[in-house]
Amino acid sequence: MKYLSTRGDGTLRGFSDILLEGLAPDGGLYLPTHYPQIDSAMLKRWRGLPYAELAFEVLSLYIDDIPPADLQTLCKATYTEAVFGTPQITPLIALQPGLYLQALSNGPTLAFKDMAMQLLGRLFEYELARRGEQLNILGATSGDTGSAAQYAMRGKRGLRVFMLRPQGRMSPFQQAQMFSLQDANIHNLCIAGVFDDCQDIVKAVSNDLAFKRRHRIGSVNSINWARLLAQVVYYVAGYLQATRSNDERVSFAVPSGNFGNICAGHVARSMGLPIDKLVLATNENDVLDEFFRTGVYRVRSSAETHATSSPSMDISKASNFERFVFDLLGRDGARVQALFGDAVPREGGFSLSAAELAPAAARHGFVSGRSSHADRLATIRHTWQTHGEMIDTHTADGLFVARQHLQPGTPMLVLETAQPAKFAQTLVEAIGIRPEPPAALRDIEHLPRRFTVLPPQVEAVKHFIEQHAAAATAATAATAATAATAATAATAALAEPTEPAAAA
């Protein structure tokens, strides 16, 4: 399997070449040259496979430059009951006949991002060891991505993580989760500023190409193809659990922000997995719902981006969306370049004609909807009172919109993207009960914390990276040890806000 860019660069690259890359050199996103087809015989063979084996089967269709035995070992090490809480890894919970939650949030950080990030950590470690290279991951986050990345990369050889966060703008639980990591290769940098400051600093550092090359700076954001690929697996797993025969179809409802989760659904459907509808759910930040209703893609400004009670979906533009538009427009790279390389940066968006938009629903199965804070509260309350299930605010967005698209005879699987304990305050507002985190995490808020406060200045962050980064070539054990001891540990308490602000 080879990969190409959505913006017309047709240079064919292997999986291992794009694994450690972010954007393609022309600014586009990587996609496979074609989607391998899943046929009925394959589905039959896959029924009953443990999740890790299923992951190996699906990944093997897209990865031909890692020896199969190694890939299998990586999958088996990643998808274990010890890490994901259940032997099924993504079990279905029946709410009523034909309506299920698919649990994706039983990983270490209690959000679905662990599903892909845990595998990515192992793939990165494997590939870096194979090349004798090191990688310094730099990112900005105020949502779940950062902690999922840190939990996936902690203790991994060849990898260091520098994660920037706005000081004080996280829930107490999120802070505890991130700052309690004691691993020497994980650096929490609290920036005395807001999320935009963090993102600007990451951009500035990444734009300094000499610095980037010298320190081998990489990223783990949601545009990484390997993350998307790992997510395709749970669509297959959900399908196999909800059906008995391969003639049956199911629909998926997906709480969406950056279009990463549902893009994996689009890939699964394009591979021939019998999916009827892909139901895209947004919160008040409805960039994507607007697109699927009208064909208008209008990026929002920061001022127009609402801070909602489902904060991981508070996005102003959807970074993975370009992949779908590439497929929607018949893989016309020049057109995608004109839309995303030109119209989006210059005019803040674009609009497709009705004829161009039509295949989104007719051919690709997309429908959409949005929900409000009141809708989430009502959905959380109803689900608790009627079904005895506590759901988080993001899953509530998905379930609310899913209910508008139920069709008799077609099971609907709502992807459960986070645990309610992460958003305890809204749960209290909805049902008057504070959800408990899983036992293993209950004491997390009392653990010692490790972070460094830096001013919102590019130079300060560069200086910190210089002091703590792994060398561009294989670092000696001595270098790594020095970096570890030099790591600054701070224990001051941070201001604790109510709920987290914007997502990353």
Ligand X SMILES: *Cc1c(COP(=O)(O)O)cnc(C)c1O
Catalytic residues: 113
- Interface with ligand X (CB under 6 A), residue from 125, 144, 197, 284: 144
Helices (H), 271-339: 287-294, 321-328, 333-336
Supply the minimum distance, in Å, between the C-beta of residue 321 and ligand X: 9
Containing 229, the helix (H) or strand (E) segment is helix 225-242
Reading phi first (left if > 0) and then psi (alpha if -120 to 50, else beta), residue 409 is in left
Supply the minimum distance, in Å, between the C-beta of residue 279 and ligand X: 13
Tokens of 408: 């008799």
What number of residues does the chain have? 504
139 makes contact with ligand X (CB under 6 A): no
Q: How many CB atoms lie within 10 A of CB 226?
A: 23
Window 373-412: contact mask with ligand X (x via CB under 6 A) = ---------------------x------------------
Q: Which residues between 253 and 292 bind ligand X (CB under 6 A)?
A: 255-261
Sheet containing 159-166: give its strands across.
Answer: 217-218, 135-140, 159-166, 186-191, 452-454
Helices (H), 61-171: 68-78, 81-84, 113-131, 145-153
The smaller minimum CB distance to ligand X, of residues 146 and 218, is found at 146
Any idea which residue has 């997309």 for tokens? 366
> How far is 420 from 171, CA to CA, in rounded Å?
13
Residue nearest to ligand X (CB): 260
Window 84-123: contact mask with ligand X (x via CB under 6 A) = ---------------------------x-x----------
Tokens of 170: 């996280």
Q: Which residues between 213 and 232 bind ligand X (CB under 6 A)?
A: 222
With beta carbons less than 8 A apart as the criterion, state whether 181 and 206 touch: no
The smaller minimum CB distance to ligand X, of residues 66 and 176, is found at 176
The smaller minimum CB distance to ligand X, of residues 6 and 258, is found at 258
- Interface with ligand X (CB under 6 A), residue from 189, 313, 414, 501: 313
Supply the minimum distance, in Å, between the C-beta of residue 423 and ligand X: 9
> How far is 277 from 269, CA to CA, in rounded Å?
9
The smaller minimum CB distance to ligand X, of residues 123 and 254, is found at 254
**CB under 6 A: which stretch of 251-259, 326-334, 428-436, 448-456 binds ligand X?**
251-259
With beta carbons less than 8 A apart as the criterion, state whether 310 and 376 touch: yes
Q: How many residues bind ligand X (CB under 6 A)?
A: 16
The smaller minimum CB distance to ligand X, of residues 157 and 298, is found at 298
Q: Rule CB under 6 A: which residues touch ligand X?
A: 111, 113, 144, 222, 255-261, 312-313, 394, 417-418
